[in-house]
């Protein structure tokens, strides 16, 4: 068995060395194997030869999102937990480095429910003066399209049909397995989402005459060491596409009331949108068309009528003259 050499506390350590030291400290082979998957892939994404101290918290969160953001909830929680243990171990042993950001939070298990916010709460948040125009436009578009956050963040200006108030998005397709390789593969299809007057008013103000590149961008150019695809950079300003992790952190910043990580989640706009449409009388078929779900049981999980809506519905059962 190889001898484990601990580096002196405070001495510079690379991402790979920190990962090896952490995994070497674990006694259970099963834990080593499971944690090794999460920590190993994360270090590859971050850059194994980098000094651990140069890695920022946001980079850890974005690595998790890129690697397992589309995975099942239990997979996300397991991989996040392993990386959280790694960064915590490094901190405890004196190796300066990043932590898992609060916005990359543990997800609710499938049996629990993502909340549907009231329409008043959605409108009030977007109307707040301290909220930047970019966030206002993104949140309004998420709500009015009932779209997934990664779909809306991936939209380019060239895709927008302002007259028709619609645009194509790259949507998740069927998840299949390649027979020979046994590897999971997710197919993607182009689907159309539609928005209404709120988004129509905000988008032109946000774009300020830009005619190409990502709709939602950061407020500064990417750093010299960050590799970004040309499709994810505005050719006119040089600003990079706003990432899911950045958008998630911004929403948490404006909605957290019990500390970082306790705010709203981007997916709540989709739940809220479909719930409000259902409360207004939209049929199951129309909700499926709006959400682009293929199975009725999937869209039913998004419909969470409020107590007030149920009370109003119940009032329809009252005697004919009692509602006069």
Tokens of 177: 């397995």
Among the listed residues 16, 93, 254, 267, the single catalytic one is: 267
| Widest CA span in the chain | 86
Among the listed residues 80, 136, 270, 276, the single catalytic one is: 270
Is 270 in the active site? Answer: yes
Among the listed residues 35, 244, 269, 302, the single catalytic one is: 302
Among the listed residues 148, 271, 290, 292, the single catalytic one is: 148
Residues with Cβ within 8 Å of 24's Cβ and at least 6 positions away in sequence, in order, are 4
Q: State the alpha helices, DSSP H only, in the chain.
A: 15-24, 29-46, 57-68, 73-92, 119-127, 133-145, 149-153, 197-207, 244-255, 268-279, 284-291, 296-300, 307-314
DSSP letter string over 234-283? Answer: -TTT-PBBPPHHHHHHHHHHHH-SSSTT-S--TTHHHHHHHHHHHHTT--
Tokens of 312: 């109003």
For the chain, how far is it from start to end, CA to CA, in angstroms? 84
**Number of neighbouring beta carbons within 10 Å of residue 115:** 15
Among the listed residues 93, 210, 254, 293, the single catalytic one is: 293
Is 93 in the active site? Answer: no
Among the listed residues 33, 106, 177, 201, the single catalytic one is: 177
Give 293's DSSP letter: -
Is 276 in the active site? Answer: no
Phi-psi region for residue 243, left (φ > 0), alpha (ψ -120 to 50) or beta? beta
> Which residue numbers are catalytic?
148, 177, 267, 270, 293, 302
């Amino acid at each position: 068995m190889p001898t484990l050499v601990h580096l002196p506390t405070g001495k510079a350590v690379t991402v790979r060395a920190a990962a090896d030291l952490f995994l070497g400290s674990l006694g259970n082979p099963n834990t080593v194997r499971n944690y090794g998957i999460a920590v190993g892939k994360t270090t590859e994404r971050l850059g194994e030869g980098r000094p651990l101290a140069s890695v920022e918290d946001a980079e850890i969160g974005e690595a998790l999102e890129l690697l397992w953001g589309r995975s099942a909830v239990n997979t996300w929680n397991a991989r996040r937990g392993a990386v959280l243990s790694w960064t915590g171990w490094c901190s405890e042993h004196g190796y300066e480095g990043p932590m898992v950001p609060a916005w990359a939070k543990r997800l609710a298990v499938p049996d629990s429910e993502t909340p549907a916010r009231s329409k008043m709460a959605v409108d009030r948040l977007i109307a707040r003066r301290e909220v930047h125009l970019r966030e206002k436009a993104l949140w309004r578009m998420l709500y009015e399209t009932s779209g997934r956050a990664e779909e809306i963040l991936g939209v380019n200006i060239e895709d927008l049909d302002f007259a028709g108030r619609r645009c194509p998005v790259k949507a998740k397709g069927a998840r299949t397995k390649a027979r020979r390789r046994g590897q999971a593969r997710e197919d993607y299809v182009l689907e159309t989402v539609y928005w209404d007057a709120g988004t129509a008013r905000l988008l032109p103000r946000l774009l300020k005459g830009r005619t190409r590149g990502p709709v939602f961008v950061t407020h500064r150019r990417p750093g010299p060491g960050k590799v970004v695809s040309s499709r994810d950079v505005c050719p006119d300003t040089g600003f990079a596409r706003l990432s899911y992790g950045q958008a998630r952190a911004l929403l948490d910043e404006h909605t957290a009331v019990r500390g970082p990580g306790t705010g709203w989640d981007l997916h709540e706009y989709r739940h809220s949108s479909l719930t409000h449409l259902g409360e207004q009388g939209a049929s199951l078929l129309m909700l499926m068309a709006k959400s682009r779900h293929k199975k009725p049981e999937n869209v039913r999980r998004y419909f969470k009528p409020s107590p007030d809506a149920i009370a109003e519905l119940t009032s329809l059962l009252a005697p004919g003259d009692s509602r006069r």
